[in-house]
Structure 1
């Protein structure tokens, strides 16, 4: 069998070295619980993850995976198992800690930023998991995320677009308080209500609502909150996130964690994120993040 030609989305050896221990441990743990181990796995974990990253990066349907990858049913099966077992969230958390230390920060942040983004959905998304964001006039889902001040995701929650920011924010604040006890400060925009500020205070977190100056028009970065806006920009490098294509909200959350894993692994290894703006291979040496 001839070796397949690599795609720009494929993992480099350096990035695979960061990710491989988590996936290897996952496979070993699952095989240890199996009643009948049977024959060894047919497909390499790195190839499986390359195929999933190809979908995340290019936005193609699972059935349209190139034939030099394993069968799409196999790839999607691994994606579903890794989502259910929390592997993507685990990878995102591991690389976030490594990257924060690489940037000279403590592994655990003490401040964060929260924001929400409403996106349209594809026809494959069940109507029961969609809603209408009346303010933005979008029918679809809402992605609520919490990032540290570097823009690295701490928590993500995907809901129907009709869910109010404060409702999703309450769940996220509870998650952040439980998983990141060092957090003492969070910045949000004016879409979050006073009762959420009080809820955060009860958890020992100071929530500050930051708003644009009166009379400001067009896009204007807001101090402290610009980090989370930049994160949404990073995520858009992955075309699977241009809309919400996932049947389950938890799968949407997994795709977001996967995109951040890809971005953080590239930053840790000093590699660039290739975008459509790069007309020639020579431009791959220039960072597009």
Structure 2
């Protein structure tokens, strides 16, 4: 690892110990299929990951990466390869199982929560992958996520904001049923339709629609569903997710997995996530996890 002044987003030794086996296995497998197997890698995996975390945490454009990181073209190339090979999803899965066990839960969940969030997009996002959320009056993309009851990510789907919650939910329920056969219960909000409840039942999953109390105005935590709302709050500590800046929806999903990887690794090692506020300010917040 090259000598440089560390950034707040850099991996500590303890967090790198959690993440390194997945990345090392990926590199070993990839080099085994390459013609240049005998040539040593040029860039350190930890520094590559630090650079990607820097982008996710600060929201900086790839070309604006500080020069003490590896070249931005290299960093982005690794990000694209890891996204294509589902490395970020693998990291999320490994850390989630470890964290659930640390919290006294079984490694695999038996219940989950589904919710959607519409966000604005940048000018770099193709118009063909955007849409308008008529209810929230947002032009952009929609992030639909599935979390366990601790708020830990199980699955994510990024679509145009015009896609109905139930349409994205159908895809996610199918994914959850295939990937997590232990799940038997799921909670959703009133934006999901009855036909999705029936679809989930056909897969052996009991879906419950949690309705807001009549007359309720503004944000009110809902029973069972509040954990997924908290997860969206956690994700917003990563400025790259304040909008959707990614050209491909799959890259947006990777950024969400990366943010959850960062959050879970910090919780596993007992390290705090510093907020966006000035760290020298007396009202500086340190967010657990």
TM range (shorter): over 0.9
1:6, 1:251 → 2: CA distance? 26
Q: Give the aligned partner of residue 110 of structure 1.
A: 110
Q: How does 1:73-84 map to 2 (within 5 A)?
A: 73-84=73-84
3-state DSSP class of the match of 1:76?
helix
Q: Give the aligned partner of residue 205 of structure 1.
A: 205
Deviation at 1:188, TM superposition (A): 0.2
1:47, 1:228 → 2: CA distance? 31
Q: How does 1:145-160 map to 2 (within 5 A)?
A: 145-160=145-160
> Unaligned 5+ residue runs, structure 2?
none
Q: Give the aligned partner of residue 256 of structure 2.
A: 256
Q: How does 1:90-239 map to 2 (within 5 A)?
A: 90-239=90-239
Q: Give the aligned partner of residue 30 of structure 1.
A: 30
Q: Residues 92 and 260 of structure 2 are in contact (CA less than 8 Å); yes or no, is this contact kept in structure 1?
A: yes
Q: Residues 60 and 240 of structure 2 are in contact (CA less than 8 Å); yes or no, is this contact kept in structure 1?
A: yes
Q: Give the aligned partner of residue 267 of structure 2.
A: 267
Q: Give the aligned partner of residue 61 of structure 1.
A: 61
3-state DSSP class of the match of 1:141?
strand
Change in CA separation of 1:210 and 1:128 when aligned onto 2, cut-off 3 Å: same
2:38, 2:14 → 1: CA distance? 32
1:26-85, Cα deviation, whole Å (9 max, x unpaired): 000000011232521111000000000000000000000000000000000000000000
3-state DSSP class of the match of 2:274?
coil
Deviation at 1:212, TM superposition (A): 1.0
3-state DSSP class of the match of 1:68?
coil
2:2, 2:31 → 1: CA distance? 29
Change in CA separation of 1:269 and 1:22 when aligned onto 2, cut-off 3 Å: same
Q: Residues 275 and 285 of structure 2 are in contact (CA less than 8 Å); yes or no, is this contact kept in structure 1?
A: no
Q: Give the aligned partner of residue 42 of structure 1.
A: 42
> Unaligned 5+ residue runs, structure 1?
none
The answer to whether structure 1 residue 11 and structure 2 residue 11 are counterparts is yes
Deviation at 1:192, TM superposition (A): 0.4
Deviation at 1:246, TM superposition (A): 0.3
2:282, 2:44 → 1: CA distance? 30
Deviation at 1:279, TM superposition (A): 3.0
Q: Residues 122 and 244 of structure 2 are in contact (CA less than 8 Å); yes or no, is this contact kept in structure 1?
A: yes
3-state DSSP class of the match of 1:177?
helix
Q: Residues 272 and 284 of structure 1 are in contact (CA less than 8 Å); yes or no, is this contact kept in structure 2?
A: no
Deviation at 1:7, TM superposition (A): 0.2
Q: Give the aligned partner of residue 88 of structure 2.
A: 88
Change in CA separation of 1:271 and 1:2 when aligned onto 2, cut-off 3 Å: closer
3-state DSSP class of the match of 1:186?
strand
3-state DSSP class of the match of 1:107?
coil
